[in-house]
Structure 1
Amino acid sequence: MIDLQNSRDEIDKVDKEIVRLFEYRMKLTKDVAEYKIQTGKKVYDREREQAKLTALKELAGNDFNRHGVEELFTQIMSMSRKMQYSLVSGDNTDIPFEERDALSVDSSTKVVWFGAKGSYTEQAFKEYFGEDVSAFNVSTFREVMEKVKNGSADYGVLPIENTSTGGITDIYDLLVEYDNSIVGEHILKVDHVLLGLPQAELKDITRVYSHTQGILQCQKFLDTNPQIKPVECKSTSDGARKVYTDGDITQAAIAGKQSAEIYGLKILKENVNHECNNSTRFIIIGKEKKYRKDAKKISICFELPHESGSLYNMLSHFIYNNLNMTKIESRPLEGRTFEYRFFVDFEGNLKDAGVRNALFGIKEEAITLKILGNY
């Protein structure tokens, strides 16, 4: 019979030897990094790593061990790259953002926000900037981006994520298309109400108007009232305005209480959203690539090679540099079947060494990397 303790003792000896050899390998990795610093050679050599993995797998005696060798050395080479990145990156990390003490805001500041008067975005804008700025609204997300891009506005306010329905995909696509940056965020608790004409009752309603997000956030209410058919509008406040303008007793809107006050509508039912802690995150965008020195969150996006393990390798940069990732979202790449661009939020500041090292590594290994903002 096999002596279990003897086998465990032998495994301990082997493990100690593996650690000793690993540390020696990492010492050699430093020498390689020094050479690359002197010659300007890139850290990541994909072809060499693939050739090396192929050769190492051939040393194993069976398919199971070949797979294990590939997995083991993939991780060892990944760790080697990360050490090299930490030595090579230094101040060479190309981060086109400048630090500043605070957002530049005064009475002459122009802010553009999405939606009609009475929208949640208007409420978010007022809570973030106050009343002492020059502000105006537009009817589409793209117009907000365009007004900031062409200088008609200094800042723009857009919804990007809801606790009930997740990310707003159109915003992610626009963040890639435009070169505007995220400079701030604001969380707003959203309590939807059902609004109708003053003479209306709930039993009269057959159609309800709201933004897509508003409808989704109140889907359970609509499911229990199948006689009410939802109709999408540009914004929740646009729905309220339509009910007021049409004067049709069978129409209602899903919107905020502020819309009831603005358009003289009656609250037919409160709290129609199914999530009691329903909240929306709004982003503040600006044209300049600047960040506050006390910024604590970073948003980036990147494209990856369409191959096994590429996303895992990318996310490992956050783990290695002890960075807390708070969100990941994916969007399909146009014209490329089942390939995606990934959006990641993580905690940190662009001047932090760990952040700069992670970004350097991601830039080296991703097809593209874009820093969307530090705020």
Structure 2
Amino acid sequence: MNIDNPLLILRKQISAIDSKLLALLSERRTLAESVAVAKQKNHRPIRDKERERELLALLIEQGKTLNLNDDYITKLFQIIIEDSVLTQQSLLQNQYNQKTKQSARIAFLGTKGSYSHIAARQYANRHFEQLIESGCHSFKDIFNHVENGQDDFAVLPIENTSSGSINEVYDLLQDTSLSIIGELTIPINHCILTASHTLLSNIKTVYSHSQPFQQCSKFINNFPEWQIKYCDSTATAMKIVAKLNSPHVAAIGSEAGGLLYKLHIIEKDLANQQQNITRFIILARKAIKVSYQVPAKTTLIIATGQQSGALAEALLIFREHNIVITKLESRPIHGNPWEEMFYLDVQINVNDIAMKKALKALNYITRSQKILGCYPSENIVPV
């Protein structure tokens, strides 16, 4: 290799700068942790949107003098700010709940390379030093693993921006003793993956989980000749395709999973919606407390009567107490035909006075209610 090659010299210089950037990002995260400690002592909220606005405005002005695009700076530092907020939240919550566990067994759907596996690793990276992975064949198995003490936490997809709510998970939440203790969202980039380079026209059979098929229905409809094969996870689908090693079979899965199983990307960005995002919830046997310094979300189930206006009356109670509802989902009540219960996500701590008053008022007009969990909100909307 010619060390005098100008391209190689430039790449070496860029790599050296990248290493410095990583070191600076690590230093910034350490400072963010110190900020969290200071905020905890002063009882100040973790999120300071006014400070974020001022910081972005200052950085954009500085960027102009360095010929850096406003949009580029905004996107870059919104990611950095989000990491800072979530790092501070995690640190404060661990101290608030006196959590000292260094490792955790986390149950998720599928095996390595599935989207649930990616979500489990993302959650563990922020909360634990070591992750013990526990892949499961079904959502029911995931619940069972945590309920019987085999695993510590469950990571479950609950809704997607393309295919909507995942009803099976909602139904399993009706009867579980587990509590929701966290949430996270990850962007989903579905790819057509094959064992060898081939053309879309050569593919005859496609393997995947039911969710990717729903989320990519518009793309799949362009190939009516494809035979659709359902699997328990995208990871299983990718393993099957790798084993068959045929140019006529493909899997729909993640780019990261494709790399893991040595598959080739034939097409990417398949989802019906450009922004395809899945929200995951974290379940554990014991509920957590959420510090008032951290933005909180509470998920609950209510069963109203069947009289006219029963649901509207219940929802008005949240309005009267200035509680924002971010999600409303209805599901059938097991064993009670034609009756439904309602799942709600509300932006408030379950121990807030307004929430306690709302729950008390709901007692008089609902047949039942169940708190599924109060947990830190990780939906960090950028300023």
Structure 2-normalised TM-score? 0.69
Contact 1:100 1:291 in 2 (8 A): no
Aligned mates of 1:240, 1:128 — CA distance in 2: 23
TM-fit CA distance, 1:295: 5.0
Q: Which moved more, 1:361-370 or 1:320-329?
A: 361-370
In the other structure, the counterpart of 1:317 is 317
In the other structure, the counterpart of 1:305 is 305
- What is the SS of the residue equivalent to 2:337? coil
Q: Which moved more, 1:247-256 or 1:156-165?
A: 247-256
Contact 1:103 1:292 in 2 (8 A): no
In the other structure, the counterpart of 1:121 is 116
Structure 1-normalised TM-score? 0.71
In the other structure, the counterpart of 1:111 is 106
In the other structure, the counterpart of 1:289 is 287
Q: Classify 1:103/1:222 alpha carbon distance in 2 versus 1 (closer, same or farther; 3 Å).
A: farther
- What is the SS of the residue equivalent to 1:106? coil
Summarize the alignment of residues 201-240 of structure 1 with structure 2, pairs less than 5 Å apart: 201-240=199-238
Opposite residue 142 of structure 2, the aligned amino acid is: V
Opposite residue 176 of structure 1, the aligned amino acid is: Q
Answer yes or no: is 1:275 the counterpart of 2:273: yes
TM-fit CA distance, 1:100: 7.4
Contact 1:192 1:272 in 2 (8 A): yes
In the other structure, the counterpart of 1:161 is 159
Opposite residue 264 of structure 2, the aligned amino acid is: K
Q: Classify 1:143/1:214 alpha carbon distance in 2 versus 1 (closer, same or farther; 3 Å).
A: same
Of the three residues 173, 193, 196, the one matched with 1:195 is 193
Aligned length: 278
Opposite residue 349 of structure 2, the aligned amino acid is: N
In the other structure, the counterpart of 1:361 is 361
Opposite residue 311 of structure 2, the aligned amino acid is: L
Aligned Cα root-mean-square deviation (Å): 1.8
Opposite residue 143 of structure 2, the aligned amino acid is: M
In the other structure, the counterpart of 1:334 is 334
Q: Classify 1:103/1:232 alpha carbon distance in 2 versus 1 (closer, same or farther; 3 Å).
A: farther
Contact 2:121 2:131 in 1 (8 A): no
TM-fit CA distance, 1:247: 2.5
Q: Classify 1:177/1:100 alpha carbon distance in 2 versus 1 (closer, same or farther; 3 Å).
A: farther
Opposite residue 223 of structure 2, the aligned amino acid is: N
Percent identical residues: 32
TM-fit CA distance, 1:118: 0.1
Cα deviation 1:144-186 (Å, max 9, x = unaligned) = 1111111111111111100111110011111112110100000
| Higher Rg of the two aligned structures | 1
Structure 1: segments with no counterpart, 5+ residues: 1-98
Of the three residues 149, 157, 161, the one matched with 1:151 is 149
Opposite residue 363 of structure 1, the aligned amino acid is: N
Summarize the alignment of residues 56-75 of structure 1 with structure 2, pairs less than 5 Å apart: none
TM-fit CA distance, 1:230: 2.1
Contact 1:301 1:342 in 2 (8 A): yes
Opposite residue 362 of structure 2, the aligned amino acid is: I
Structure 2: segments with no counterpart, 5+ residues: 1-93, 376-383
In the other structure, the counterpart of 1:257 is 255
Opposite residue 196 of structure 1, the aligned amino acid is: T
Cα deviation 1:3-57 (Å, max 9, x = unaligned) = xxxxxxxxxxxxxxxxxxxxxxxxxxxxxxxxxxxxxxxxxxxxxxxxxxxxxxx
